[in-house]
C-alpha cells in the first residue's frame, strides 16, 4: 500500500495548470505515539488553497515547493494510538490532498457525529469550514440584525448560499445575491430562497444594486472583492457592516487589482468593514454546528455538493471555483468507501 | 450695518477658484423669539467644506447655489431672546462664512467656558470639532490600546497632530506620522512629539512604513485616503484598526481615484476599517473637552493655529488645506475684537 499525494511542483501564475502540481507516491505514514492514521475519503476544494500556493504573506505560511497541497478533508480512523479517536471513527480536519493522513497533537481532527442522518459530503459542506464561515461571518463579524437588507456575493457558492439562508431564517427584510450568469442566479432564488439575484456579468451592477436595495445595504457579505465590493460600497446604508470573507476575483489575478474607490462612502455612512478567518472561531464551532445541523434537517438550509472523482482531479476541481464551473461545495472523492453511518 | 456673506456661486471642478464663491451683502439678520444674534469672530476652514460644495450625496446635504458656505465658527452674543445664551457669551457652532449668525432651536451653539486661560483660536482648534475628531476617532472608533503602534496621516494637520499626541500620552509603543515635505515632517517630530514622520512625497512609502513599523501597524488614523491608505493597509498587524476620518487626497479629484488594492490584507490580518463623523459623538463632547483642555494646559498637547485675516480670504484659505500651504488649524479672522477673557 502506498500513499499518493498531490504536491506543489511549481508556483502558478494565474490559473493552476498541469505544471503546478504533480502526483507522488510514498509509503503510508507511520502512526506514532499519541497519533492516529486516517484513510482519507473526501478532500475539500476551497478558493483559499489557491492563495496558499503563492509565495506571499498570508494567514498561513505558503505551501513549500514539493509539499503536499494543504486542504481540509475527512476520512476514517484505521489505526489509533490515542484515546482521542477510535478505529472506525469518521473524522475531519486538515487531511491535505492525499490518500492517508495522520492525526497528531498539532494536527487535530474532529470526530463527525453519527446518527444525524446526514451524509459525509453534507457534513463537510454545511458543518465544515464552509458553513461555519457563513455562520460566524454573518452573525459575529457582520452583527446581523433582524430587518437587515443583506447582500451576498458568490451567492451560488457553498458559503454564500448558506449566508443568505441563515439571514432569511433569522428575519432579514431582504436578501439579495450576486452571482455569475443566469443559471446560477436562478439557482440562488429557486433553490436557496434569496429574494433576488443580480448577475454581475451584466452591465450597471451599481444601479441594479440600488434598484434592489433602495434604502441601502445594511450588511454585505463579500466573497469576491474588487469591482463588486466597490459597487456595493456605493450603496451602503448608515452603519452598514461589510464582512470581508474572501476575494476570489483576485486570487488568480496577474495584474494589480483595480482597487476600491468608494471608501469615502464608509465615512459618510459610518460603515464598518472587517476581515476574518473562520479558524479564529474554532472554540465555538460546536455551537454553530448544532444550529446548522438543525437547519439542514428541518429544511431551512438547502445545500448542494459538487463531487469530483479521483485525487488526481483535485487541481482541475480547484480551477472550477474560478471559472464558475462548479455547483455548490466542491469535494474530491478520494475513497468512496468512506461513508457515514 | 450689513451682513457680508461668502456664498456658493458655482460648483467647483477641482480646486476652488474665483468663480466658486462671491461676497454678498444683506441686512443683519433679525433675532427672533428664542433666538440669539451672534457677531462672528472666527470661522473654521476644514477639508469637509470642499465636499459640501459638490452636488453629491454626503453626510450632510450639498450647499445650494446662492447659499452661504456652511462652516463652524465662533462669536459673541450681542442680542438674546433665550435663556440659553447671555449677551457677551462667547459661543461656537455653525456660524457659516458670514459676519453675523443666528442661534436658533435647530442651530444651537455651545457657550465657551471662560477662565481656562486658553485663547479663542486654541479653543476652536483643540476643543472644537478638530480635536474632538482626533479624540473620538482614536479612542472610540480606533479602540486605541496601550502599546499600540499607531500611524497617522495628515500628521502635521490640526486633527492628525492631536491624534498622535493623545496616542503618545496614553502609552502607544510608537507613533509614526505621514506628512508632505521635510518641513512638515520635522514639525511633526519636533513640535508634536511623534517618534518618526514619513514624507509621502518621497518614493517607496510602503517600504518605509514597513521599516518604521516592522511588527505591523496596530492602528491607522487615515485623514487622506487613496494611495497612502493602500500603503498602510499592506503593513497592518493582526487585528489592526483603520479609522477612516477623511480622504483629503480625493476631495478635489477630477478623476476616479486609483482605489485601494490591499483589501485582502484586511482578511489575512482580521483588520477592521470604520468610517465616522464626529457629529455622531455630540452628546459626549463635554467629556472629551475636559480631557483635551487639561492636556493643552499641562503641555501634553502642542497645537498651532494658522490665522488668515478677512472673511473674503476664506476661499483661498480653504485651498491652503489641499496645497499644504497651511500650518496647523486654519481659521479666518472675521472680527478680531471677539476674544476670550
Q: What is the pLDDT of residues A2-28, one digit of tens each?
A: 999 999 999 999 999 999 999 999 999
**Cα dihedral A321, A327, A331, A332 sign:** negative
Q: Which of B58, B263, B280 is closest, CB to CB, to A229?
A: B263
Answer yes or no: do A268 and B256 touch at CB < 8 A: no
**Pairing, β A196-199 against β A174-179:** parallel
Separation in Å, CA of B104 to nearest CA in chain A: 26
Q: Residue B163: its pLDDT value, please?
A: 98
Residues in B 52-81 with any Cβ partner in A closer than 8 A: 57-59
A chain contacts of residue B265, beta-carbon cutoff 8 Å = 275
Separation in Å, CA of A232 to nearest CA in chain B: 14
Band (B96; pLDDT cuts 50, 70, 90): very high
| pLDDT of A341 higher than 70 | no
Mean per-residue pLDDT for A180-197?
97
Q: What is the DSSP letter of A61?
A: P
A225 touches chain B (CB under 8 A): yes
Q: Residue A1: its pLDDT value, please?
A: 84
pLDDT digits (tens, 9 = 90+) for A57-79: 788 999 999 999 999 999 999 99
Whole-angstrom distance, CA of residue A155 vs CA of residue B203:
41
| pLDDT of A256 higher than 80 | no
Separation in Å, CA of A245 to nearest CA in chain B: 7
Whole-angstrom distance, CA of residue A274 vs CA of residue A94:
26
A chain contacts of residue B275, beta-carbon cutoff 8 Å = 263-272
Whole-angstrom distance, CA of residue B118 vs CA of residue B331:
16
Answer yes or no: do B259 and A58 touch at CB < 8 A: no
Answer yes or no: do B277 and A267 touch at CB < 8 A: yes
Q: Residue A87: its pLDDT value, please?
A: 97
The ipTM of this complex is: 0.88
B131 touches chain A (CB under 8 A): no
> How far out from the chain centre does Cα B323 lie?
16
| pLDDT of A154 higher than 90 | yes
Neighbour tally for A210: CB within 10 Å:
15
Those residues whose C-beta lies under 8 Å from the C-beta of residue A250, and which sit 6 or more positions away, are A225, A226, A257, B264
Answer yes or no: do A267 and B261 touch at CB < 8 A: no
Q: Residue A57: its pLDDT value, please?
A: 78
A182 touches chain B (CB under 8 A): no
Test mutation, B259, B271, B281, chain A, max A CBs within 10 A: B259
Q: Which of A259, A261, A273 is closest, CB to CB, to B266?
A: A273
* Start-to-end Cα distance in chain A: 26
- Among chain B residues, CA nearest to A268: B59
A chain contacts of residue B269, beta-carbon cutoff 8 Å = 59, 275
Band (B341; pLDDT cuts 50, 70, 90): low
Whole-angstrom distance, CA of residue A270 vs CA of residue A135:
24
User: How is A254-297 classified by DSSP, letter by letter?
Assistant: -S----B-TTHHHHHTT-EEEE--GGGGGGGHHHHHHHHHHHHH
Whole-angstrom distance, CA of residue A318 vs CA of residue B70:
55
Going by C-alpha positions, the residue among B86, B59, B91, B61 that lies closest to residue B73 is B91
Mean per-residue pLDDT for A308-333?
95
Separation in Å, CA of A33 to nearest CA in chain B: 34
> Using alpha carbons only, what angle is made at residue A329 by residues A326 and A332, rounded to the nearest 5 degrees?
80
| pLDDT of A255 higher than 90 | no
A300 touches chain B (CB under 8 A): no
Test mutation, A47, A233, A267, chain B, max B CBs within 10 A: A267
Whole-angstrom distance, CA of residue A87 vs CA of residue B261:
48
Are the beta carbons of B225 and A244 closer than 8 angstroms?
Answer: no
Q: Where are the domains of chain A?
A: 2-112+304-333, 129-279
Are the beta carbons of B192 and B258 closer than 8 angstroms?
Answer: no
For chain A, what is the radius of gyration of the CA atoms? 20
B31 touches chain A (CB under 8 A): no
Separation in Å, CA of B294 to nearest CA in chain A: 29
Whole-angstrom distance, CA of residue A255 vs CA of residue A253:
6
- Among chain B residues, CA nearest to A247: B264
Going by C-alpha positions, the residue among B93, B91, B90 that lies closest to residue B70 is B93
Going by C-alpha positions, the residue among B275, B10, B260, B94 that lies closest to residue A225 is B260
Are the beta carbons of B331 and B305 closer than 8 angstroms?
Answer: yes
| pLDDT of B275 higher than 80 | yes
Answer yes or no: do A258 and B263 touch at CB < 8 A: no
A143 touches chain B (CB under 8 A): no
Separation in Å, CA of A167 to nearest CA in chain B: 22
Q: Which CATH class is domain A2-112+304-333?
A: alpha beta
Going by C-alpha positions, the residue among B68, B31, B34, B33 that lies closest to residue B49 is B68
Whole-angstrom distance, CA of residue B17 vs CA of residue B33:
39
Answer yes or no: do B275 and A259 touch at CB < 8 A: no
Q: Residue A289: its pLDDT value, please?
A: 93
A chain contacts of residue B236, beta-carbon cutoff 8 Å = none
Same fold: A2-112+304-333 with A129-279: no
| pLDDT of A147 higher than 80 | yes
Q: Determine which helix (DSSP H) or strand (DSSP E) holds A314, and give its type and residue range.
A: helix A314-323
Buried b vs exposed e over A164-176: b needs ≥16 C-beta within 10 Å? bbbbbeeebebbb
| Residue B174 to residues B151, B157, B167, B188, B291, Cα–Cα distance (Å) | 8, 19, 9, 14, 22
Whole-angstrom distance, CA of residue B156 vs CA of residue B341:
29
Q: Which of B58, B256, B268 is closest, CB to CB, to A268?
A: B58
Q: Is A163 left (phi over 0), alpha (psi -120 to 50) or beta?
A: alpha
Are the beta carbons of B177 and B194 closer than 8 angstroms?
Answer: yes
A41 touches chain B (CB under 8 A): no
Q: Residue B116: its pLDDT value, please?
A: 84
If you count them, how many residues does chain A have?
341
Which fold, A129-279? Rossmann fold (3.40.50)
**Pairing, β A36-44 against β A73-80:** antiparallel
Answer yes or no: do A266 and B257 touch at CB < 8 A: no
Check residues A340 and A316 and name the one with the higher pLDDT: A316
Check residues B264 and B258 and name the one with the higher pLDDT: B264
Q: Which of A244, A268, A272 is closest, CB to CB, to B267?
A: A244
pLDDT digits (tens, 9 = 90+) for A189-236: 999 999 999 999 999 999 999 999 999 999 999 999 999 999 999 999
φ, ψ of residue B112 in degrees (nearest 5): -75, 130
Amino acid at each position: 500500500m502506498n500513499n499518493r499525494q498531490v504536491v506543489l511542483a511549481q508556483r502558478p501564475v494565474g490559473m493552476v495548470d498541469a505544471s503546478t502540481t504533480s502526483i507522488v507516491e510514498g509509503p503510508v505514514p507511520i502512526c506514532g505515539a499519541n497519533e492516529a492514521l486516517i484513510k482519507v475519503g473526501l478532500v475539500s476544494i476551497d478558493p483559499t488553497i489557491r492563495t496558499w500556493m503563492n509565495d506571499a504573506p498570508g494567514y498561513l505560511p505558503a505551501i513549500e515547493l514539493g509539499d503536499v497541497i494543504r486542504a481540509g478533508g475527512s476520512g476514517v480512523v484505521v489505526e489509533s494510538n490515542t484515546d482521542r479517536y477510535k478505529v472506525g471513527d469518521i473524522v475531519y480536519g486538515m487531511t491535505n490532498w492525499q490518500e492517508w493522513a495522520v492525526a497528531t497533537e498539532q494536527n487535530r481532527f474532529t470526530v463527525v457525529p453519527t446518527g444525524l442522518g446526514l451524509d459525509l459530503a453534507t457534513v463537510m459542506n454545511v458543518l465544515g469550514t464552509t458553513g461555519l464561515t457563513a455562520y460566524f461571518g454573518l452573525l459575529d463579524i457582520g452583527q446581523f440584525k433582524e430587518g437587515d437588507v443583506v447582500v451576498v456575493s458568490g451567492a451560488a457558492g457553498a458559503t454564500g448560499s448558506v449566508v443568505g439562508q441563515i439571514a432569511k431564517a433569522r428575519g432579514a427584510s431582504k436578501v439579495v445575491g450576486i452571482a455569475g450568469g443566469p443559471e446560477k442566479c436562478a439557482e440562488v432564488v429557486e433553490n436557496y430562497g434569496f429574494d433576488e439575484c443580480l448577475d454581475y456579468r451584466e452591465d450597471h451592477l451599481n444601479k441594479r444594486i440600488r434598484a434592489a436595495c433602495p434604502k441601502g445595504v445594511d450588511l454585505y457579505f463579500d466573497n469576491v472583492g474588487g469591482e463588486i465590493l466597490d459597487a456595493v460600497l456605493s450603496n451602503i446604508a448608515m452603519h452598514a457592516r461589510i464582512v470581508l470573507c474572501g476575494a476570489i476575483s483576485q486570487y488568480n489575478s496577474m495584474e494589480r487589482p483595480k482597487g476600491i474607490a468608494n471608501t469615502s462612502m464608509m465615512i459618510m455612512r459610518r460603515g464598518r468593514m472587517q476581515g476574518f478567518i473562520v479558524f479564529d472561531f474554532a472554540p465555538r464551532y460546536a455551537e454553530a454546528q448544532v444550529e446548522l445541523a438543525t437547519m439542514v434537517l428541518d429544511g431551512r438550509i438547502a445545500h448542494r455538493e459538487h463531487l469530483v472523482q479521483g485525487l488526481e482531479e483535485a487541481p482541475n476541481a480547484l480551477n472550477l471555483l474560478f471559472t464558475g464551473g462548479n455547483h455548490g461545495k466542491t469535494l474530491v472523492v478520494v475513497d468512496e468507501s468512506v461513508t457515514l453511518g
